[in-house]
Amino acid sequence: MLLEISELSVFYGKIQALDKISLGVEEGEIACLIGANGAGKSTTLKTISGLRKVAHGSLRFKGEDITYVPGHQRVTMGICQAPEGRGIFPGMTVMDNLGMGAYTRKKREAEKIAADFDRVFALFPRLKERQKQIAGTMSGGEQQMLAIGRALMSSPDLLLLDEPSMGLAPKLVAQIFEIIQEINGQGTTVLLVEQNAIKALSVSQRAYVLETGRITRSAPAEDLLGDDSIRAAYLGG
């Protein structure tokens, strides 16, 4: 397992957001976490990134216990989250935003960093065209691409995506999911959080259902796609 979460509990003050959740992500796969509003999906990703404190349980990455490893160090270890709601730097250019994604990397990696710029521009030709544009003036879809591109610039082994399809027109949603599969095909493991359960399940190998802070199902994604109770609850019947 690349990532193993055991019995993880997380609180916001007295509110328990996650209640002893356990899940695993295998190297090379796309895994997804689906669930209703407020189920704890974003909290799970934030805890994996190191942005939320763990009250109980543990996280292991590449076999190492990272439960108390600070977030910036997790980036260096190979975990990177593309922010929900396009958390890019709106006043900076596209190029500078991408450069910020590589800030934890050493100068001696210059060649590898240049190759990662090429990788991002090949995945998102639009970003290449818009290198000098101020990020905040781009469309929602372009900003979403930039958020993913910036995360890729840290050269992650595990890419965490929080609602990458949020607010996008259907054509762009399809394109983003194709790109996620392409990124995965290049060797990056992906953990995806989505309200768009059909899309998420159709690109994933493994899926977890989160309900009010608890994992209630864990199965191959295609099993959940064909499951009547899941279809009724999350796929619109």
Nearer to ligand ATP, 95 or 166 (CB): 166
Only segment of 37-45, 95-103, 128-136, 139-147 that touches ligand ATP (CB under 6 A): 37-45
Q: Does 37 bind ligand ATP (CB under 6 A)?
A: yes
- Number of residues located near ligand ATP, criterion CB under 6 A: 12
Question: C-beta of 137: minimal distance to ligand ATP in Å?
Answer: 26
Burial class (CB in 10 A: 0-12, 13-18, 19+), 144: buried
- Minimum CB separation of residue 35 from ligand ATP in Å reads 5
Q: Using CA atoms of 78, 87, 208, 157 in order, give the dihedral in degrees to the nearest 10.
A: -10
In this structure, are residues 62 and 221 in contact, taking their beta carbons and an 8 Å threshold? no
| Edge-first strand listing for the sheet containing 79-82 | 79-82, 158-162, 189-194, 30-34, 206-211, 214-220
Question: Does 17 sit near ligand ATP (CB under 6 A)?
Answer: yes
Within 10 Å of residue 44's Cβ, how many Cβ atoms?
28
Q: Which helix (H) or strand (E) holds 82?
A: strand 79-82
Q: Considering beta carbons, is residue 15 or 187 the nearer one to ligand ATP?
A: 15
When the beta carbons of 40 and 101 are compared against ligand ATP, the nearer one is: 40
From the list 41-49, 74-82, 93-101, 182-190, the region that binds ligand ATP by CB under 6 A is 41-49
What is the spatial distance between Cα 223 and Cα 42, in angstroms, rounded to a whole number?
24
Identified binder of ligand ATP from the candidate list 25, 30, 41, 197, rule CB under 6 A? 41
Minimum CB separation of residue 88 from ligand ATP in Å reads 19
Partners of 188 in the beta sheet?
A: none
The nearer residue to ligand ATP, 47 or 154, going by C-beta atoms, is 47
Asked if 170 touches ligand ATP (CB under 6 A), the answer is: no
Question: In 10 A of CB 207, how many CB atoms?
Answer: 26
The residues pairing with 209 across neighbouring beta strands, listed in sequence order, are 34, 217
Q: Which stretch binds ligand ATP (CB under 6 A): 34-42, 59-67, 108-116, 228-236?
A: 34-42
- Which stretches of the chain bind ligand ATP, using CB under 6 A? 12, 15, 17, 35, 37-43, 195
